[in-house]
Amino acid sequence: MRQVMDRMHCSEITIVYGLTEASPGITQTRTDDPVHVRVSTVGKPFDGVEVKIIDAETGATLPPGRHGEFARVATTR
C-alpha cells in the first residue's frame, strides 16, 4: 500500500474489507487515519455492521488487541 501511495500518488487511498456473503464491504479505513493505521488494519466497521474477533480454535470472542479470526456478527440496517 505504501508503494501505491508513493508511485501512483494516491495519498488518500483506504483499505476496505468485505466478503461476498456479507455484501461488498463491511470495514474501511478513513482518509484521515494515520498512514500506519491505513497500512496495518482493515479499519472500522461501517455504520450498522457489528463485527468481532474470535479464537479460530475455540470460537471464543477475543478482547481488543488480540489476534484472531475476523467474524461478522450482524447488519442492523
- To which residue does cell 461488498 refer? 24
Query: Quick one: CA dihedral 69, 26, 14, 35, positive or negative?
Result: negative
Nearest of 68, 75, 71, 70 to residue 23 by alpha carbon: 75
Across 57-71, b (16+ Cβ under 10 Å) vs e yields: eeeeebeeeeebeee
Domain ranges of the chain: 2-75
Question: ∠ CA 22-37-35 to the nearest 5 degrees?
Answer: 120
Write down the pTM of the prediction: 0.71
Average pLDDT, 10 consecutive residues per value, the chain (77 residues)? 88 86 82 90 86 90 85 62
